[in-house]
Each structure stands twice: as C-alpha cells, then as structure tokens.
C-alpha cells in the first residue's frame, strides 16, 4: 500500500507502508548504525520520534527475544530504504515487518533515505507524519502539532525494584532506562536498586547505597529540572555516574547549560577523545541535546571527553567530588564496547571512596 512521509517544511517522500496502518506524527531523526535496529526501536530515548535508518537494508537478521532495550517499541514509526523480505539468523523469531504489525508500529519503506538524511542535516530535525493521503491541510496540520512533553514522566518506572546480589549496591534513577545498562552492571555482580525519576534524595539515602547512577532517557533535560537538587544532594554524599540524559542532568545540576543540537548524534560509530587517558573510543550515541562547553567555565566541572567531529562535550567530572558523566553509552547495545571500562572505573571510584572514608573514620 502506497503511503507518504510528509515533513513540516512541505517535503514529501513516497513509499510502501508496512506494519501498522495507523497515521502517526512525531519528530523525525536518523540513525547511522548498520545494525541494531531492534535495540534502537525499543530504546526509550527514541520515544515520540520517527526513526530513519540510513543503512539501505534493514531487518536482514529479523527480530529475536534477546535484543530488546525495553519491552515494546518506543519509537513512533520506522523509515527505511528497504526492508529485508527473507531474514536469516539462528536467533530470529519473526521478520521486522511481522514484528511491526504485531506491535502496532507503522513503517514506510522504499524511501530515498539518503536524500531524507541530507535534508534533515541541512534543515535540522523537524516534525513529520506518515499518512495515506495528502490534502491541502496536511502540512498546516503537521505544523500545528505540539511537541511531546514530560517524556521522562511517561517512561520512567512507576515502582522501585531491586536486582539483589552480594556486590556493591548502586541506586539507579530511571529516566528511560536501557536494559543494557542493567546487564552491564549485573555481569559485574552489582546489586542494583532502580528508582523512579521523581524519587527524593532521602529515599535513596535511606537504602544506604554505595553509589548512584543517572540513566539515559528521552526529551529535553531542562524539563526534568525537579531532579537537579536531588542530584546535588546525592553527589555530595555518594559517588555518582551519569549516562546520556543523566550526563546532561549532572551538568545542569552543577551550573552548566544545555542546548538542542541541529540533528543530534544517533549511531554507533561516533569517535570520542578521552582527554584524561589520551585515547580514542568509538561509541554508541543517541541524543538530541548537548552540554554547552562555554557554560562550564566558572563551575566545579571539567571536560573529560569530546566528540572528534564537532567537538561537543562528551564527558564531565567534578573537580571536588567522585562524580562523572558521559554523553555516550558505555553499555553500547548496539555498538562498540570500547568505553565499557567506564563501569569498572565507576566501581573502582566507589571502592576507593569507601576505603578513604574508613581511613578517616
């Protein structure tokens, strides 16, 4: 069935529909990864967004039960140049088209994603819709759509839950958590306590954790301003690490500022320079906002990582406390595992902090 991808600037891309037949709208973004479509479509950081895959063939290894980052797709729709008709992989359970239909997820294929990506790069991310027909009001109606707000409140866990072990205990604040972060901690024997995004600092402190981790999540970090005093209180008493949205919130809590990127970083091949270790890591990224480098001047923050291509801030740490954050995903999933050592650095920081506290007791 012929369907249309319409952008708010009036551009139209014609393709064939698959998956759900419902009409949808959202912010259109692109991902440059060659694989990892299942992880991306279920990554909560894509909540409310129409996800374009720049790689020309999507779905060639199907969908399996192991690669979910959340229980269902959180992206609004799929845009692809070609969908694999006969996927082949020993783990696959169904094709991406079958999965999209089962999950009520609209898709459009046959689109010139190269031209679409170039347009987004030139004009920036914008609102878009997938429709069955185009009328005189289509673009005007699209321009009138209000952007989604309170994404974190919609996506965070509603209850606290625990993965008990005998290892170090980490309080993880869920702003839109990827399962791969939990897996990275679990394989290190960490006892993880997951809290909703509206948690009070004292609620966490009452559980006596050894450290705090701020998760990834969707949307504008400034819309989660209620958590900033909580972060300040926690980092004054416990070692802390932030990932993606957690990195941006860590920056805001310590006096820095954030801004919206023109088209974001979404893919698995972003080269990042570790300024502390003087090395390059290839990283997995998915974010539309960044920390303003000039706003760090005069704060207790210092830059530890930067993006090779556009020199955006990719890592921060406090000069006076055991706390740091990174804009990318050390858990990868999908993507390279170059930066997975950061979880080990975090745990080593906790151990060193506990040792220092004992010596001063």
pLDDT in tens, 259-310: 999 999 999 989 999 999 999 999 999 999 999 999 999 999 999 999 999 9
- With 0-12 / 13-18 / 19 or more C-beta atoms within 10 angstroms meaning exposed / middle / buried, residue 115 is exposed
- When pLDDT is averaged across residues 225-246 and rounded to a whole number, the result is 98
Binding residues for L-glutamine, by number, are 45, 217, 219, 245, 248, 286, 288-289
Question: Is 329 an annotated catalytic residue?
Answer: yes
Whether the pLDDT of residue 361 is over 70: the answer is no
Domain 2-144: CATH class, spelled out? alpha beta
pLDDT at 149: 85
pLDDT digits (tens, 9 = 90+) for 51-62: 999 999 999 999
The pLDDT value given to residue 254: 98
Q: Which is the catalytic residue, given 287, 305, 329, 338? A: 329
CATH of domain 151-360: 3.40.50.880
Higher pLDDT, 257 or 355: 257
pLDDT band for 145, please (50, 70, 90 cuts): confident
Spatial separation of the C-alpha atoms in residues 302 and 308, rounded to whole Å? 17
Q: Of 43, 244, 270, 287, which residue is the catalytic one?
A: 244
Please list the residue range(s) of the chain that carry CATH number 3.40.50.880.
151-360
What's the half-sphere exposure (Cβ side, CA atoms, 13 Å) at 15?
Answer: 24
What is the reported pLDDT for 160? 95
Coil vs helix vs strand at 70: coil
Distance (Å, whole) CA 28 – CA 144: 16
CA atoms within 13 A on the CB side of 201: 14
**What is the C-alpha to C-alpha distance for residues 170 and 20, in angstroms, rounded to an integer?**
40
7 to 130, 135, 295, 311: CA distances (angstroms): 9, 13, 33, 29
Residue 294 CB partners (closer than 8 Å, separation 6+): none
Considering the chain, what percentage of its residues have pLDDT values greater than 90? 90
Residue-level length of the chain: 361
| Average pLDDT for the chain | 95
CATH 3.50.30.20 in the chain is located at: 2-144
Q: Over the Cα atoms of the chain, what is R_g?
A: 21
Indicate the pLDDT class of residue 227, thresholds 50, 70 and 90. Answer: very high
Residue 148 confidence class, pLDDT cut points 50, 70, 90: confident
> Which residue in 67, 210, 331, 338 is the catalytic one?
331
The yes-or-no answer on residue 278 being catalytic is: no
**What pLDDT score was predicted for residue 164?**
85
Over 70: is that where the pLDDT of 17 sits? yes
171 three-state secondary structure: strand
Cα–Cα distance, 80 to 56 (Å, whole number): 7
Q: Catalytic site residue 226?
A: no
């Amino acid at each position: 069935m012929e369907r249309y991808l319409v952008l708010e600037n009036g551009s139209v891309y014609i393709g064939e529909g698959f998956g759900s037949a419902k009409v949808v709208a959202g912010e259109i973004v692109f991902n440059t990864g060659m694989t990892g479509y299942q992880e991306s479509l279920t990554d909560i950081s894509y909540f409310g967004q129409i996800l374009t895959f720049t790689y020309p063939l999507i779905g060639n290894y199907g969908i399996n039960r192991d690669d979910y980052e959340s229980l269902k797709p959180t992206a609004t729709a799929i845009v692809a140049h070609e969908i694999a008709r006969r996927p082949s992989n020993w783990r696959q359970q169904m094709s991406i088209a079958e999965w999209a239909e089962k999950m009520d997820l609209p898709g459009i294929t046959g689109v010139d994603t190269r031209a679409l990506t170039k347009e987004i790069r030139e004009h920036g991310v914008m609102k878009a819709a997938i429709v069955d027909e185009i009328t005189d009001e289509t673009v005007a109606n699209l321009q009138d759509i209000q952007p989604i707000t309170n994404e974190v409140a919609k996506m965070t866990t509603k209850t606290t839950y625990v993965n008990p072990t005998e290892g170090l205990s980490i309080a993880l604040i869920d702003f839109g958590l990827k399962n791969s972060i939990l897996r990275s901690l679990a394989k290190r024997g960490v006892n993880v306590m997951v809290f909703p995004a509206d948690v009070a600092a004292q609620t966490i402190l009452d559980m006596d954790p050894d450290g705090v981790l701020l998760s990834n999540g969707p949307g504008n970090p400034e819309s989660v301003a209620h958590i900033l005093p909580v972060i300040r209180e926690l980092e004054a008493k416990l070692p802390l690490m932030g990932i993606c949205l957690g990195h941006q919130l860590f920056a805001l809590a310590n006096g820095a500022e954030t801004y919206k990127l023109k088209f974001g970083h979404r893919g698995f091949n972003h080269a990042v320079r570790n300024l502390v270790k003087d090395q390059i890591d290839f990283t997995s990224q998915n974010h539309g906002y960044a920390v303003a480098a000039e706003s760090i001047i005069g704060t207790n923050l210092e830059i530890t990582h930067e993006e090779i291509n556009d020199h955006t801030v990719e890592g921060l740490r406090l000069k006076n406390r055991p706390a740091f954050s990174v804009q990318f995903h050390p858990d990868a999933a999908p993507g390279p595992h170059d930066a997975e050592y950061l979880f080990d650095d975090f745990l080593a920081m906790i151990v060193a902090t506990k040792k220092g506290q004992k010596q001063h007791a």
